[in-house]
Amino acid sequence: MAPLSNDWRDAAITPGTWTYGPGPFASFGNGLLTLQCDAGRQAIVLTAGGGAANGQVAVTLTTAATVRSVPGFTGPSGLVVTIPARDPLLDAMAFSRGRFAIASAGRPTLYVPSWTEVSRVIEDCR
């Protein structure tokens, strides 16, 4: 039997599909993860539903080209991360080879496919 891999790219993709709309908004897995343009702030708001803790949390976004920790906040709607619309991290998410990962303490890591809905929200926000 082959040993289990510790490579994030070998983890099973979180079950779900992306849907787009209305407006610059995309949802994965029936709201498990959403990306929405906040035009007023020129930013993408990433929300991962669930969780009960309240407060600041570090969130690690992993793509084929980038690993970066960004500040997040947990509250009633779940984990919320706001990323400036022109941040290269968003491009890395959109063009990651097949998937990107979202991890924070106390929450299961999401392994999300980088389908066209991700790119569309980003481009529509720019």
Q: Where are the domains of the chain?
A: 16-125
Instruction: Compute how many other C-beta atoms are within 10 angstroms of the C-beta atom of residue 57.
Output: 18
Lowest mean pLDDT among 22-31, 45-54, 78-87: 45-54
| CATH hierarchy code of domain 16-125 | 2.60.40
Whether residue 98 is predicted with pLDDT greater than 70 in this model: the reply is: yes
What pLDDT score was predicted for residue 123?
A: 93
Residue 108 near residue 5, CB atoms below 8 Å? no
User: What average pLDDT does range 107-125 have in this prediction?
Assistant: 92
What pLDDT score was predicted for residue 51?
A: 66
Whether residue 68 is predicted with pLDDT greater than 60 in this model: the reply is: yes
**Identity of the residue numbered 40:** G
Q: Which of 102, 104, 96 is nearest to 35 (CA)?
A: 102
User: What average pLDDT does range 85-109 have in this prediction?
Assistant: 91
